[in-house]
């Protein structure tokens, strides 16, 4: 879902910004990692209101334009790198005092308006959906994966109830010609009743394809693991998610590391079980009615956060095993 929006007045709108600032308290100093720099809404606010440092990453190289503007104002306190969550070791951190790691998942208004990226149903031409640093596109997936694989992607990543019929029609149509964005929308709509008021009929299939093309499930899992590793003791991990699959993963990660489990074989043996994380909020924080009125797409945002209670880098988590049924679907990409 769209996390950072331009509202009707075309104003840049970072979701739950005030809530995030009050959780991470950048006024007390330290270094914060903005894992989803986007248009820099969070980074800018932190830099303007504190003497803290920001290390920002984004997989989309187009973010570097906004990053260079911020860099010119906050030279020594701001660094940007074009990286994915899974590539965070490339940051080559030394012993920075990492006090916060922030994720604002999904894609930005700027990305959906970028016709080349083809994230919108109105995009013309070839399917794409690459957010940056990708190995394959939605064009490759739609035109090369098997009917069964496409069905599974639509069903599991998009919860699309017509996934079987849509996958079958795609494989028939692509024998005649390559399927582009408009062809795909037409195929989906051929199984749907036109509706003026609900979400666009192609939303679920498009979400599923975007997750698959950008390998968003494994990226999120490695992002959470990597962020937790580099946080210092008492550092805070904040994640804003926009759909149920994302939130399920974040919720499980936080819960499993905060509920009386022995989390590290690297620690001295002790009888006490150790919790690596402490939840800040049991229930997710959601936008106020005022924010939703100003920026309607923020209505699906859920913010979860937790504090790292122990100073160690390595820890054990079963999150990869738990969500293997999802990452196995992302592995269909290996043949593309």
Ligand X SMILES: C[S@@+](CC[C@H](N)C(=O)[O-])C[C@H]1O[C@@H](n2cnc3c(N)ncnc32)[C@H](O)[C@@H]1O
Residue selected from 63, 163, 201, 298 as contacting ligand X according to rule CB under 6 A: 63
Residue placing its CB nearer to ligand X in the complex, 134 or 262: 134
- For 234, the token pair is 């008492």
Site string for ligand X, 206-245 (x = CB under 6 A): -------------x--------------------------
Interaction of residue 57 with ligand X, rule CB under 6 A: yes
Interaction of residue 3 with ligand X, rule CB under 6 A: yes
- For 93, the token pair is 């951190």
Alpha-carbon span 157 to 57, nearest angstrom: 25
- For 136, the token pair is 């394959």
Site for ligand X in 128-167 (CB under 6 A): 131-132
Interaction of residue 100 with ligand X, rule CB under 6 A: no
Interaction of residue 40 with ligand X, rule CB under 6 A: yes
Residue placing its CB nearer to ligand X in the complex, 4 or 180: 4
- In degrees, to the nearest 5, what angle opens at C-alpha 329 toward C-alphas 255 and 138? 115
Residue placing its CB nearer to ligand X in the complex, 263 or 326: 326
Residue placing its CB nearer to ligand X in the complex, 108 or 317: 108
Interaction of residue 47 with ligand X, rule CB under 6 A: no
Which residues is 13 bridged to in the sheet? 5
Residue selected from 78, 80, 85, 332 as contacting ligand X according to rule CB under 6 A: 85
Could you tell me which of 10, 20, 14, 18 has the C-alpha nearest to residue 2?
14
Counting Cβ atoms within 10 Å, is residue 74 exposed (0-12), middle (13-18) or buried (19+)? middle
Interaction of residue 204 with ligand X, rule CB under 6 A: no
Q: Measured from the CB of residue 39, what is the shortest distance to ligand X in angstroms?
A: 4
Alpha-carbon span 75 to 69, nearest angstrom: 10
Residue selected from 108, 226, 256, 317 as contacting ligand X according to rule CB under 6 A: 108
Interaction of residue 54 with ligand X, rule CB under 6 A: no
Helix axis angle, 216-230 to 203-213, nearest 10°: 50
Q: Measured from the CB of residue 285, what is the shortest distance to ligand X in angstroms?
A: 15
Render the burial of 132-168: b for 16+ CB within 10 Å, e for the rest: bbbebbbbbbbbebeeebbbbbbbbbbebebbbbbbe
Residues of this chain that bind ligand X (CB under 6 A): 3-4, 14, 36, 38-42, 57-60, 63, 84-85, 104, 106-108, 131-132, 219
């Amino acid at each position: 879902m769209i996390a950072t929006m331009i509202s009707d007045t075309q104003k840049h709108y970072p979701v739950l910004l005030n809530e995030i600032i009050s959780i991470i308290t950048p006024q007390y100093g330290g270094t914060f990692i903005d894992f989803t720099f986007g248009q820099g809404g969070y980074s800018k606010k932190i830099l303007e209101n504190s003497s803290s440092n920001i290390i920002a990453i984004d997989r989309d190289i187009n973010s570097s334009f906004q990053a260079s503007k911020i860099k010119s104002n906050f030279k020594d306190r701001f660094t940007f790198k074009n990286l994915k969550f899974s590539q965070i070791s490339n940051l080559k951190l030394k012993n920075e005092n990492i006090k916060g790691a922030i994720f604002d998942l999904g894609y930005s208004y700027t990305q959906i308006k970028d016709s080349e990226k083809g994230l919108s149903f109105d995009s013309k031409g070839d399917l794409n959906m690459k957010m940056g640093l990708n190995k394959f596109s939605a064009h490759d997936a739609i035109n090369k994966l098997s009917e069964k694989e496409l069905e599974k992607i639509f069903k599991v990543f998009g919860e699309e109830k017509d996934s079987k019929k849509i996958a079958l029609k795609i494989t028939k149509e692509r024998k005649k010609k390559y399927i582009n964005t408009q062809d795909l929308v037409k195929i989906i709509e051929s199984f749907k009743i036109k509706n003026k008021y609900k979400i666009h009929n192609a939303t679920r299939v498009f979400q599923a394809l975007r997750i698959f093309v950008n390998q968003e499930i494994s990226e999120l899992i490695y992002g959470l693991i990597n962020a937790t590793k580099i946080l210092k003791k008492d550092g805070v991990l904040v994640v804003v998610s926009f759909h149920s699959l994302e939130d399920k993963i974040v919720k499980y990660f936080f819960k499993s590391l905060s509920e009386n489990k022995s989390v590290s074989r690297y620690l001295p043996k002790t009888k006490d079980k150790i919790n690596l994380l402490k939840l800040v909020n049991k229930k997710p924080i959601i936008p106020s009615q005022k924010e939703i009125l100003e920026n309607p797409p923020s209505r699906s945002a859920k913010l979860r956060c937790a504090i790292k209670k122990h100073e160690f880098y390595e820890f054990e988590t079963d999150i990869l095993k738990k969500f293997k049924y999802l990452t196995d679907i992302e592995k269909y990409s290996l043949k593309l």
